Amino acid sequence: MVQVLRPDEVRERYGRMFCKGFMTLVDEDAGIAQVIEMCSAKGPSEWDYVNRKRTGGVIEDIRLGANTLVMDTIIGERELRFGPVSLEMGGQGISALRVEGDEVRTTWFGIAGASVGIGACIPQCPDVIRTEYPDDFKMGGAHRATVDIITPKMVRVVIGVDDTDTKEKGASWVSTLRLGMECPIGRFIEHKIIQLNPRAPNKTTNCCSTAVSFAVREEEVPALIEFAVDFIRKESYSEDTVLTVYQGLRIPEPLRDFGWSCKSVLYTPEDAVRVADENGVQIISVTGMKGVIGAVAAIGCFDLGERAAGIPEDFE
């Protein structure tokens, strides 16, 4: 038998814990997923980062920023590698991630104190639908625990924007940050400012485009795009505003290369349209089309980390 508990039932049983956010994003075409966990403090995040990286399982890469863990995973199952440290230090990891209709099931193992994180902390986060516990579940002490945590299936949508301002007023990065913070659809994940070629002849001042990403249920994607277009149209001071949309967890290499080269090469709008068409990027003319190069480049540079904010000379 399996015992099933909702987040409020977990909180009632174990007391209030510390997980502030927990999302599972999937890209089924690519066979990959992303698990995002937000904690109330940095200490647990640092400990989880080290232990989950050590145990591997379905986690391919893991990043820690402030109190947020971002785990890139496969969709599937792999053995965990606790190793000899588990006898003295415990451990924690994800052994499986499966898509089941409109839900995602992650299978977690925790040893000793780490079992509290997967047995009581994450399961009471409001983002979780339910957690399934085996009959013999025990946590803390020297116990080895396993649970299945079930969450809504979400996808990542990246929205790029360029040319909303003029030399007199406006800033595209401000408009997109407001979009992220005020959007009522899905969950706002990241905001990026993308530095483009400072020698571009049609720039305003800094020659930057910008982008934001959201975690949404698949059925919410059309509503998200509609909200974003209306929001940016109201925010724009320019007659050349373009919005781009990309759904997925892996930016295609040709699109990434185009974004990076936009920092040193001068392209035509036709070049940007071609790259977008070949790499699954939707282009939407909000008030015009001159911003298409920067809006496509914003998608291409979105996963480049701090390199998105600079030019090639900054990283030589």
What angle, rounded to 10 degrees, do the helices at 253-261 and 292-300 form?
120
Rounded Cα distance between 188 and 176, Å, is: 11
User: Each residue's pLDDT tens digit in the chain (316 positions)?
Assistant: 799 999 999 999 999 999 999 999 999 999 999 999 999 999 989 989 998 998 999 999 999 988 999 999 999 999 998 765 544 455 789 999 999 999 999 999 988 777 888 999 999 999 999 999 999 888 876 677 899 999 999 999 999 999 887 565 668 899 999 999 999 999 999 999 999 988 766 655 568 899 999 999 999 999 999 999 999 999 998 899 999 999 999 999 999 999 999 999 999 999 999 999 999 999 999 999 999 999 999 999 999 999 999 988 877 6
Residue bearing tokens 């277009």: 229
pTM of the model: 0.93
Q: List, for residues 13-53, the tens digit of each pLDDT value.
A: 999 999 999 999 999 999 999 999 999 999 989 989 998 99
Return the pLDDT at 185.
98
Residue bearing tokens 């001159």: 290
| Closest listed residue to residue 224, CA positions, set 235, 213, 234, 233 | 213
Query: What is the architecture of the domain spanning 163-315?
Result: 2-Layer Sandwich (3.30)
Query: E strands within the chain?
Result: 2-5, 19-27, 32-39, 59-65, 68-74, 76-77, 91-100, 103-111, 130-134, 144-162, 187-195, 208-216, 242-247, 282-285
Domain residue ranges in the chain: 2-153, 163-315
Tokens of 69: 């863990």
Rounded Cα distance between 246 and 17, Å, is: 35
* Alpha helices (runs of H) in 26-93, residue ranges in sequence order: 42-55, 86-89
Sign of the Cα pseudo-torsion (153, 37, 279, 239, in order): positive
Rounded Cα distance between 275 and 183, Å, is: 28
| Closest listed residue to residue 271, CA positions, set 216, 206, 204, 197 | 197
Q: What are phi and psi of 36, to 5 degrees?
A: -115, 125
Return the pLDDT at 87.
46
Rounded Cα distance between 75 and 31, Å, is: 5
CB 76 within 8 A of CB 59: no
